Amino acid sequence: MTALQQTTEVVDPVPGADAPHLPGQPDLVQLLTPEGERVEHPDYPLDVSDEELRGLYRDLALVRRWDVEATALQRQGELGIWASLLGQEAAQVGAGRALAPDDMAFPTYREHGVAWTRGVDPLHVISLFRGVDQGGWDPVARAFNLYTVVIGAQTLHATGYAMGLQRDGAESAALAFLGDGATSQGEVNEAMIWAATFAAPVVFFCQNNQYAISVPIERQSRVPLFQRAAGFGFPGVRVDGNDVLAVLAVTRAALAAAREGSGPTFIEAFTYRMGAHTTSDDPTRYRLASELEEWKLRDPIARLKAHLSRTGIADADFFASVDAEGDELAARIRQGTLEMPDPAGTEIFDHVYAEQTPELARQREEFVAYHASFEGDQQ
């Protein structure tokens, strides 16, 4: 074997599993099997009421309906691009519902499900992808930072925010979202070093959806991602990312530990991006259809529905009402998108600085005067 062959050899990220992209090893925390059977885990007991279970189902279903509508809007030319969360609903809703109101979340650009749990209006996310703004929600009021597009940069922000919480004596935590690809970024590794060194109340929530656009996890890591945490000196745990109950339990525990001063945790939510990276992507160029079919059997919504049906916690009327609510949500998103006004041109000048500079004020005037010079022209 040549050196080149050796370094490019694909390493099974899940030792012992027949299919390397499927979870199935003892390390995986699972509270709900793909068939919808409730199981217990000794380290992660979860006390959840029937109402909460129905609420989680509603979250998952509505977030997926929003996502489907946004993809359609992009295909119809109403959005420039859309980053679909299809398949990752449980990871996001579970993590989002684990947050306390005063905790602060730091998303990437795909955390629409977390946005939902923080009360962000879907149209305020849509506006970003329509090119109206860089995210229309108030990140302070919603305790949900604006989307960060440069991969991994937000993990440092979350860590610094957590250091601020420490200084304030606040009993809150920061939750940093990242993907499997981001774990290769230097800044993510720096964030974990800082978090460990200062025992910052931050939880790193990594959705390992198996691909960084086209590049599989094997190119990012030769060990399971959650095992990396040990090298930084804090716990790492792998959770079934398609199991909303397990994600909720694991993230709650990690946030509680952070708030109590026990420092960071790295959570690897093992999941799968069932759609494309974005609407500009074509996943058929880099992955097999059979892989997607296998993951459909692990669908995060179907398994909770099976559980709710089997146990009688929800009935057909409930599912029908959620479907109807989803259709109303989709209609509101569609109408809101189509009616969304374009921003005023002068907006680009207005928030560059807290204290406007004379030069930018001059450029703004020039911009206004230039555009005013066309007023009254025949079209």
As annotated, the active-site residues are 273, 277, 286
Other CB atoms within a 10 A radius of the CB of residue 4 amount to 8
Q: Dihedrals φ, ψ of 267, to 5°?
A: -110, 125
List 52, 78, 171, 190, residue binding another protein (CB under 8 A): 190
Site membership for another protein, residue 248 (CB under 8 A): no
Nearer CB in complex with another protein: 181/300: 181
**Selected binder of another protein within 72, 153, 292, 306 (CB under 8 A):** 153
Site for another protein in 14-53 (CB under 8 A): none
With binding defined as CB under 8 A, does residue 335 bind another protein? no
| Position 163 contacts another protein (CB under 8 A) | yes
Place of tokens 């946030």: 255
158 touches another protein (CB under 8 A): yes
101 binds another protein (CB under 8 A): no
CB 202 within 8 A of CB 264: yes
Determine the straight-line distance between the first and last CA of the chain, rounded to whole angstroms.
70
Q: Is 108 in the site for another protein (CB under 8 A)?
A: no
Among 133, 171, 218, 325, binds another protein (CB under 8 A): 133
Are 166 and 200 spatial neighbours (Cβ–Cβ below 8 Å)?
A: yes
Site for another protein contains 358 (CB under 8 A): yes
Using the minimum distance from each CB to another protein, give the nearer residue, 166 or 262.
Answer: 166
- Residue 146 found at the interface with another protein (CB under 8 A): yes
Instruction: Please answer whether residues 70 and 129 qualify as being in contact, where contact means their C-beta atoms are separated by less than 8 angstroms.
Output: yes
Q: Please tell me whether residue 259 adopts helix, strand or coil conformation.
A: helix
**From 57-65, 69-77, 289-297, 346-354, span contacting another protein (CB under 8 A):** 346-354
Q: Name the DSSP class of 184.
A: G
CA nearest 138: which of 126, 153, 125, 151? 125
Radius of gyration of the chain, Cα coordinates, nearest whole angstrom: 22
If the CB atoms of residues 117 and 148 are measured against another protein, the closer one turns out to be: 148
127 in contact with another protein (CB under 8 A): no
Query: Would strands 215-216 and 211-212 be described as parallel, antiparallel, or unpaired?
Result: antiparallel
Of 145, 208, 210, 220, the one binding another protein by CB under 8 A? 145
Which residue intervals of 101-237 are DSSP H helices? Answer: 112-117, 122-130, 153-168, 186-197, 225-232
Task: State which residue, 60 or 162, has the beta carbon closest to another protein.
Answer: 162
Q: Which is nearer to another protein, 1 or 140 (CB)?
A: 140
165 or 237, CB closer to another protein?
A: 165
Cα(242)–Cα(181) distance, rounded to whole angstroms? 19
Tokens of 179: 């993907």
DSSP H helices in the chain? 3-8, 50-75, 89-98, 112-117, 122-130, 153-168, 186-197, 225-232, 244-259, 289-296, 300-311, 316-338, 347-350, 358-372
CB of 159 to another protein, least distance (A): 5
Residues that contact another protein, how many (by CB under 8 A):
44
Which residues make Cβ contacts (< 8 Å) with residue 270, sequence separation at least 6? 23, 28, 208, 238, 239, 240, 241, 242
Interface with another protein includes 293 (CB under 8 A)? no
Q: Does 341 bind another protein (CB under 8 A)?
A: no
- Tell me which of 62, 162, 173, 175 binds another protein, using CB under 8 A: 162
Can residue 144 be called a binding residue for another protein (CB under 8 A)? no
Distances (CA, A) of 43 to 90, 140, 269, 300: 20, 33, 16, 22
Q: Which of 31, 98, 191, 229 binds another protein (CB under 8 A)?
A: 191
Is residue 134 part of the contact set for another protein (CB under 8 A)?
yes
Interface with another protein, residue 159, by CB under 8 A: yes
Footprint of another protein (CB under 8 A): 104, 133-135, 138-140, 145-146, 148, 150, 153, 155-165, 167-168, 174, 186-187, 190-191, 193-194, 197, 347, 350-355, 357-360
